[in-house]
Amino acid sequence: MLRRVAPLAALASVALVLSGCSTVGDLVDREPARPTVVGTQTPPAGMEGTDAFYAQKLQWTRCSGGLCAELTVPQDYAKPDGDTITISVLRVPARKESKRIGSLVVNPGGPGGSGVDYARAADFIVGSDVRQRFDVVGFDPRGVGRSEPIDCVSDSELDAFLGAEQTPDDAAEEHEFAANAKSFAQKCGQNAGPLLGHVSTVDAAKDMDVLRAALGEPKLDYLGKSYGTYLGATYADLFPQLVGHFVLDGVVAPDLTSAEVNLGQAKGFETATRAWAQFCIDKGTCPLGGTVDQVMQGLRDFLKRVDEQPLDKTGDAAVTQLTEGWASTGIAAAMYDQGMWDTLVEAMRAALQGDGSDLMGLANTYADRKPGGGYSGNIMEVIYAVNCLDKPESPSVPEHEAAAEAARAVAPTWGPFLAWSSLTCGSWPVKTERSSEPPQKVTAEGAQPIVVVGTTRDPATPYEWSVRLHDQLAKSSLITYDGDGHTAYMRSNSCVDDPIDEFYLTGTVPKDGLKC
């Protein structure tokens, strides 16, 4: 998510399974240490006092899927002489070293998706010619995965939080929902440590420039998907002169307010689910109805029944009941890729007969959760830690109730679910200047042209957000993909893939307004 919708982690995991790569952490734990000055890169404006960090040289060691290293950065950029943290990095070398162009840094989204695991799937996330000539480099952003991971609650507590009431129907349920949201926020404050106040997107963007310097690159070449576009746009606004070839696919415009994110995603998921409903009908014998409206109403009726009486069959020893929260999460997971639509049809068929195992399996994929208990990563905790620092949010229950009703009017299936999802940030235990200010537009004045990609029926990052960022950037080119699913590049559409590959390889900017 951006709020409760976790972008590309699931798709990255699928690619890793196909490639045979392990997602198990394989980096050696080391005490953070101030880097030794060995290079000549100097900090750009706004990064004063970080000379030693910019001069460090990465020490690469072989690891699963490529070469691993650790980057040292300040915990707090306002106090560069204070504590440091380490950022885990993985580099998959270019296949043709003799024709190598440089490093392409990638981020799969989240916030909370592992860039290390994403880079391991290099053969699947960039075009073959790009793969030949670029080192594909991924990093786990601060607080994520192997980079000083934020840990708010135990696995069992996270299971309970995700499975709890998500769309309160009356005052008692609203009180319980608010108490759960506040408890989760308080536990993050108690357990996550001092880094909790320094995991904003701005902090991660600054880390990315230190990484650029450590890689020896004069400018940053970058592929960001979903939340990764927010990170990339933030970087471009901070360091416009250091922008190389940037592709932002499935855009989260940085100037979106929390309310706009929630409502935009609600509309996006409603549109995507209606497309799935038509798919279900076209297959024949759709278990939810014979028209799109009937299927959508059938889905809502099912979620209401599960809210009142959860399914006892989940196929999961740690989660013994499929609640509305888990069922909604499973349905949402399938909206990211049409390849999962068949799975959802059969999962719904089984669930309507009392077996929630397949829906629970989809929910596990979404939450980066292991069947039977435990989590492969910490995306479902980091997603709040980053969002709550990035955007101000009201703690008012009545305000969220009103927002839920307004969202229900335009997105009856997903509106309340997403409108309530950000209440946790209203009680967040740490604030920054940025988290108290309205979000700002990004222009990246002075940057090279940035390629923006939008998918017309993208559930998590509505197409309108790509247009919004394209209109704000000083120089950009927009590619529109008329299709379903989340993001467009490397999803089997040469009209999208070929010009992006050419952009990375030659610098030729795709024609603005290209429609695919």
Q: What is the pLDDT of residues 322-358, one digit of tens each?
A: 999 999 999 999 999 999 999 999 999 999 999 999 9
Residues 357 and 445 in one domain: no
411 & 499 share domain: no
| Domain span holding position 308 | 155-191+257-374+394-426
Same domain, 208 and 275: no
Same domain, 220 and 328: no
Q: Is residue 13 part of a domain?
A: yes
Q: Does residue 249 sit in the same domain as residue 348?
A: no
- Examine the domain organization and report whether 126 and 185 are in the same domain: no
Asked whether residue 220 falls in the same domain as residue 296, the answer is no
Residue 2, in any domain of the structure: no
Q: Which of 329, 21, 27 is nearest to 149 (CA)?
A: 27
> For the chain, what is the mean pLDDT?
91
The answer to whether residue 389 sits within a structural domain is no
Catalytic positions? 226, 458, 486
3-state DSSP assignment of residue 476: strand
Pair 355, 311: CB distance under 8 Å = yes
Same domain, 170 and 77: no
What pLDDT, in 10s, does the model give residues 233-254?
999 999 999 999 999 999 999 9
Residue at 224: amino acid letter: G
- Asked if residue 234 and residue 92 are part of one domain, the reply reads yes
Tokens of 23: 């997602």
* Any domain includes 386: no
Which CATH number characterizes residue 465's domain?
3.40.50.1820
- 262 and 309, same structural domain? yes
Q: Is 108 in the same domain as 243? A: yes
128 within some domain: yes
Q: Would 379 be classed as within a structural domain? A: no
User: What is the number of structural domains in the chain?
Assistant: 2
Using DSSP, state whether 375 is helix, strand or coil.
strand
Rounded to whole angstroms, the Cα distance separating 331 from 448 reads: 39
Task: Give residue 128's pLDDT band: very low, low, confident or very high (50, 70, 90).
Answer: very high
In one letter, which amino acid is 178? A
Q: Each residue of 269-310: pLDDT tens digit?
A: 999 999 999 999 999 989 999 999 999 999 999 999 999 999
Q: Domain check: are 117 and 172 in the same one?
A: no
User: Rounded CA gap, 240 and 45, in Å?
Assistant: 11
The tokens describing 466, both together, are: 């790509």
